[in-house]
Amino acid sequence: MTFDWSIVWASRGALATGAWMTVTLTILTMAIAIPGGILLALMRLSPLGAARGLAIAFVEFFRCTPLILQVYWAFYVLPTQLEVQFSGFATGLMALSMNVSAYNAETFRAGINSIRRGQSEAGLALGMSGAQVYREVVLPQAVKRVLPVLATTWVALFKDTSLVSVIAVGDLAYTAMQIRSRSFRVLEMLTAMAVLYWAMGYPQAKLTDWIHRRLAGRE
């Protein structure tokens, strides 16, 4: 078997576009899923039973089904039910955002709950207003606990964007697999795809470890 690696260099433009799409999807999804997660977490902690129930149902549904199936469902079922067409990109972004929002909701809820009640009570006893307690006592500590988990979610999201390739969104995985089937350079293209994901994901994984070490055990 002979391998012809020149195909990888010849496809560099398409691969770069695909890699950029992967990065774009990751950034946009997180930009939607952080406010989305905060909203769900606040709903979950609210005194309103209906809001709580809705948030629990949303979070559990998205955490207990595979993302790839959510993507398929959004792509094949949603248009027939709503009778509107979304682009593959919009569908993929929507499925990813809802999925990551559910995970972020749990992260934020755990972060807020982890700050002992006594601290807000002490703040209030010192004459701080409710908003001050939240801004100066609860949030700074909660952010430090939430940040490492968000970093872990970010890396997972970066990898999960590859799943939208099944609905023909032109991310790195889709682009590489398309060139593979056109050129028949299977090993070369799939290896290039793996190396590119590795090259982008490895520093992110290491950075996540650093964030965990840096913020671990600090109050």
Partner 1 sequence: MEFTLGPVLDNLPFLLRGLWMNVVVSVVSIGLSLILGFGVGLGRSFGPRWLAVALAFYVDSMRALPVLVVIVWTFFAFPLLAQTSIRPVPAAITAISLHVAASVAEVVRAGVESVREGQTRAALALGMTRIQVLADVILPQAVVRMLPAFTSLMVITIKDSAVASVIAVPEIIRQSETVAGQTFRPFEVYTFALLAFFAILFPVARLADWLYGRVAHLGRS
Q: Which two tokens stand for residue 160?
A: 């999960």
Spatial contact of 56 and 44, defined as CB atoms under 8 Å apart: yes
Q: Which of residues 22-41 bind partner 1 (CB under 8 A)?
A: none
Interacting residues with partner 1 between 195 and 214 (CB under 8 A): 197-198, 200-202, 204-206
- Choices 29-37, 72-80, 125-133, 140-148; region in contact with partner 1 by CB under 8 A: 72-80
In terms of CB distance, is 28 or 177 closer to partner 1? 177
Q: Read out DSSP for 88-124?
A: HHHHHHHHHHHHHHHHHHHHHHHHHHTS-HHHHHHHH
Helix and strand element counts for the chain (H, E): 11, 0
Determine contact, residues 157/167, Cβ cutoff 8 Å: no
Closest to partner 1 by CB, 66 vs 130, is 66
Contact flag: residue 54 with partner 1 (CB under 8 A): no
Considering only residues 77 to 96 of the shown chain, the ones binding partner 1 according to CB under 8 A are 77, 80-81
DSSP 156: H
Is residue 135 a contact point for partner 1 (CB under 8 A)?
no
Q: Which helix (H) or strand (E) holds 16?
A: helix 12-45
Among 42, 45, 155, 215, interactor with partner 1 by CB under 8 A: 155
Q: Are 40 and 58 in contact (CB under 8 A)?
A: yes
- Give the torsion sign (CA, 197, 202, 205, 211): negative
Q: Which of 6, 46, 65, 132 binds partner 1 (CB under 8 A)?
A: 65
The position carrying tokens 């549904």 is 61
Distances (CA, A) of 179 to 143, 171, 182, 189, 195: 43, 12, 5, 7, 16
Residue 134 in the binding site for partner 1 (CB under 8 A): no
Count of CB atoms situated within 10 Å of the CB of 136 = 11
Taking CB under 8 A as the criterion, the residue among 67, 95, 112, 151 binding partner 1 is 67
Q: Is 166 in the site for partner 1 (CB under 8 A)?
A: yes
Does residue number 177 form part of the binding site for partner 1 (CB under 8 A)? yes
Does position 76 bind partner 1 by CB under 8 A? yes
Residue numbers 178-197 binding partner 1 by CB under 8 A: 180, 186-187, 190-191, 193-194, 197
Which residues of the shown chain bind partner 1 in the complex (CB under 8 A)?
1, 60-61, 63-70, 72-73, 76-77, 80-81, 155, 159-163, 165-166, 173, 177, 180, 186-187, 190-191, 193-194, 197-198, 200-202, 204-206
